[in-house]
Amino acid sequence: MRRVVIAVFVAVVFTTSVAVASEFFPLASVHRGMRGYIRTVVYGTKVSTFRVEVLGILKRSSGGHLILIKAFPDLVNLTGGIAAGMSGSPLFINGKIVGAIGYGWRMADHSLGLVTPIKEMLSVWDWYKKKKKKKKIEKIRLQQALLYKGNLYKEVWLSGKAVRHPADAIVMTPVVTPIVVSGLSDRGKRLLSNFLSKMGDFKVVDVPDDAGISRNVKLQPGSAIGVEVAKGDVNIGAIGTLTYIDRKTNRLVGFGHPFLLRGDVDYFLTSAFVYQIVKSIDIPFKLGVPLKVIGSLVEDRKNAIGGIIGRFPKSISVRVAVVDEDHHRIKRYGFRINRDGELTPIFLSAAVMSCIDRGWGRVGEGTSKMSFSLIGYGLPMDIRRTNYFWSPKDIAKLSVQEIKDLSIMLLRNEYKKISAESLDVVVNVSKKNKILFIKGVDVKRHGSKLEVSVLLKHFRGSSVKKKIMLEIPRMWDSAPFVVVVRGGGIVGMNPKENKKSMPKTYTSFRDELKDFLAQECNNELVVEVFPLVSKMPKGVKGSLRKRVRMDYYIEGYMEKRFGLPSGKR
């Protein structure tokens, strides 16, 4: 369920000059019974005006003020009342901005709302730095009891969710703007929803793309704006309302609440198109789509978002080619995604998995060959990797795991900031089970050579043999040993080792990245040899390993003991 939106518009700190101050209506002059209007978009990009009346001024216990307003029937009849997406809609009195819509009455009368004063919104950064303790419920006593529709109200409660309250209290809750997406498969949306549910009460809504919509929008207070973390053939973002633009600095504030509450950010700031406002008993909400990029969102704070027009955000260019080997066709997708150590790995996984779902046209079992390369600044080496995957249930989900792991390593590494610029992904996918199962192992010695013959069987098919030769150290002449044959990626077990291996410690990002790229691949046939001796002489290898790449996913694990007799080599 959606929570009622608190609209406090975005804050990028502005220099308040006399000229700027003249655009604002002073809070001290606002009083009960005054009439004004709000500006917002209810369809397309046209800004509409709706009348409201001031019911009172509320002084917050945590400092600051809120203005209680009532919308006239023209807004209520058209939209169902104050809606999610209207957050940031500016309130004007005598042609000057008073503040922006921020709160609504959940599951009740949507004609009532709370407005945050403009100057308090512009000082959001100062408020944020004080790190005031957040109260779960803020109770504000009305200076004058409000008689509304036969009921007498004495308090307004501000809460993050619906709570039990006395009959004489109005509970206003933040209305979180719905996350609008396009280009994601159903599973991609579920992955995104599950992740966002841990961050807050977010609702993911699928919307059409912006094809055929005019992109020439003149921004003004009340215009619909969008914020996106991914843009292109996959889009992930939200829409809200612009409150104020400083034309001298090209800075704007809007929404009146956070997007994802990420603080300092660098997301796409866009114009937006509103298809309609969906009426709801819980809280109405705007259904719309972000349009072209107009700048960068640089602040994503509790009370507002702040952006700069004309500044293009830094992002990663992602290109995905899905090769459907069963039907001999290729589908290509492209999008840009922002860099965020916590969010990008999840959003990137959902986006690439959705491209595979769309390009393959199905979900389920199969085999894939996943190849990717990444270019960026600050990388100690070229990043290229190819691996094979097989799953009896969900091959697309399994295939994107290494891309997720790589993005986590790059964006969260402890050594240096990496500027990832472009990621190219090619995934060959087939419903066929392209697997070789390990079915037998035979070991022979020829002097200093050890011949390991492995019997492999195709899935529901014929068998093949693969011979692998290893050089045996002289110091192993009189020692028996164990030969382990397995598919790459399966953890090899040293028969002499009975302790769990500890996580490896790295001293440089280069070493960590090198190990990541050197990981065994699932299409490798791995042979390991462990001598069964209590202690190896200093300088002598304690085991041998050889990796052989094949064009199949290798499945299986077998061990065979072999006693090497002493004698001439």
Lowest mean pLDDT among 73-77, 155-159, 477-481: 155-159
CB 4 within 8 A of CB 175: yes
Q: Is residue 495 pLDDT above 50, yes or no?
A: no
pLDDT range class, residue 132, cuts 50, 70, 90 = very low
For the cut 70, the answer to whether the pLDDT of residue 360 exceeds it is: yes
- 522 pLDDT tier (thresholds 50, 70, 90): very high
Distance between CA atoms of 245 and 225, rounded to whole angstroms? Answer: 12
Greater model confidence, 144 or 207: 207
Helix 509-517 / helix 401-412 crossing angle, nearest 10 deg: 170
Phi-psi region of 199 (alpha: psi -120 to 50; beta: other; left: phi over 0): alpha
**How many whole angstroms separate alpha carbon 352 and alpha carbon 427?**
10
- Asked if 454 contacts 525 with a C-beta cutoff of 8 angstroms, the reply is yes
At residue 19, the 3 state secondary structure works out as helix
Whether 316 has a pLDDT exceeding 90, the answer reads yes
User: Among 149-163, 223-237, 289-303, whose mean pLDDT is lowest?
Assistant: 149-163
Region 324-343: what's the mean pLDDT?
Answer: 94
Using CA atoms, how far residue 272 sits from 11, 161, 248, 534, in Å, is: 20, 28, 23, 71
pLDDT recorded at residue 320: 98
Give the CA-trace dihedral at 410, 412, 416, 421, to 10 degrees. 40
pLDDT score recorded for residue 541: 64
Residue 17 pLDDT exceeds 50: no
Sheet with strand 557-563: strands edge to edge: 544-549, 524-531, 480-487, 557-563
What's the pLDDT score for residue 428?
Answer: 97
Q: What is the largest CA-CA distance in the chain?
A: 107
Which residue is it, tokens 């790995």? 345
User: Residue 23: which H helix or E strand, with range?
Assistant: none
Tokens standing for residue 316? 């990663």
User: Cα separation of 465 and 110, whole Å?
Assistant: 73
pLDDT value of position 567: 41
In this prediction, residues 332-340 reach a mean pLDDT of 95
Predicted pLDDT at 13? 35
Q: How confident is the model at residue 427 (pLDDT cuts 50, 70, 90)?
A: very high
Determine what percent of the chain is predicted with pLDDT higher than 90: 46
Torsion sign, CA atoms 76, 77, 78, 84? positive
Containing 295, the helix (H) or strand (E) segment is strand 285-300
What's the average model confidence in pLDDT over 304-328? 94
In this prediction, residue 268 carries a pLDDT of: 96
Phi-psi region of 348 (alpha: psi -120 to 50; beta: other; left: phi over 0): alpha
Mean pLDDT lowest among 160-169, 280-289, 382-391: 160-169
Average pLDDT over residues 498-527: 84
pLDDT for the residue numbered 130? 47
d(C-alpha 163, C-alpha 142), whole Å: 19
Task: Give pLDDT, residue 502.
Answer: 58
pLDDT-wise least confident of 113-127, 212-226, 239-253, 537-551? 113-127
**3-class DSSP state for residue 342?**
coil
Structure tokens at 553: 């996913």
Describe the crossing of helices 401-412 and 344-360 by its angle, rounded to 10 degrees.
160
Q: What is the mean pLDDT of residues 73-88?
A: 81
User: Could you give the CA distance from residue 405 to residue 418 in angstroms, rounded to a whole number?
Assistant: 15
User: What mean pLDDT is predicted for residues 551-556?
Assistant: 95
Q: Does the pLDDT at position 305 exceed 90?
A: no
Residues 168-202: tens digit of each pLDDT: 776 666 556 788 999 999 999 999 999 988 887 77
- Picking from 287, 269, 261, the residue whose alpha carbon sits closest to that of residue 227 is 269
Average of pLDDT values for 489-514?
68
User: Could you count the other beta carbons within 10 Å of the beta carbon of residue 8?
Assistant: 36
Distance between CA atoms of 426 and 522, rounded to whole angstroms?
17
pLDDT: is 22 or 421 the higher one? 421
Q: Which of 252, 189, 193, 192 is nearest to 225 (CA)?
A: 252
Per the DSSP assignment, residues forming a β-bridge with 100 are 90, 116
Q: How many CA atoms lie within 13 A of 529 on its CB side?
A: 25
User: Which residues, at least 6 apart from 94, have a Cβ–Cβ distance to it below 8 Å?
Assistant: 25, 36
Tokens in use for 243?
């409150």
Mapping DSSP to helix (H, G, I), strand (E, B) and coil, where does residue 95 land?
coil
- Residue 353 host element (H or E): helix 344-360
The tally of CA atoms less than 13 A away on the side-chain side of residue 224 is 31
Q: How confident is the model at residue 534 (pLDDT cuts 50, 70, 90)?
A: low
Cα gap 521→358, rounded to integer Å? 26
Strands annotated E in 397-462: 419-430, 435-446, 449-458
Under DSSP, the state recorded for 516 is H
Distances in Å between the alpha carbon of 98 and those of 7, 171, 190? 13, 23, 40
CA-CA-CA-CA torsion sign (407, 410, 414, 418): negative
Could you give the domains of the chain?
18-174 (2.40.10.10), 179-314 (no CATH), 316-430 (3.10.20), 435-563 (no CATH)
pLDDT band at 422 (very low <50, low <70, confident <90, very high): very high
In whole angstroms, what is the distance from residue 196 CA to residue 277 CA? 23
Do strands 305-309 and 251-254 pair parallel, antiparallel, or not at all (unpaired)?
A: antiparallel
Quick check: 469 pLDDT over 70? yes
Given a cut of 90, whether residue 82 has pLDDT beyond it is: no
List all residues 6 or more positions away from 46 whose beta carbon is below 8 Å from its beta carbon.
none
3-state secondary structure 534-550: CCCCCCCCCCEEEEEEC
Q: 423 burial class (0-12, 13-18, 19+ CB within 10 angstroms)?
A: buried
In single-letter form, the type of residue at position 322 comes to: V
Separation of CA 263 from chain center:
15
Q: 311-342 in b/e burial notation, b at 16+ Cβ within 10 A?
A: bebebbebbbbbbbbeeeeebebebbbbbbee
Q: What is the pLDDT of residue 206?
A: 85
Alpha carbon distance 403, 407 (integer Å): 6
* Two structure tokens written together for 474: 């002289």
Whether 90 has a pLDDT exceeding 70, the answer reads yes
Query: Over the chain, what is the mean pLDDT?
Result: 82
CA distance 520 to 525: 9
Mean pLDDT in residue range 298-310:
86
Question: Could you give the CA distance from residue 403 to residue 516 in angstroms, rounded to a whole number?
Answer: 11
- DSSP state, residue 488: T
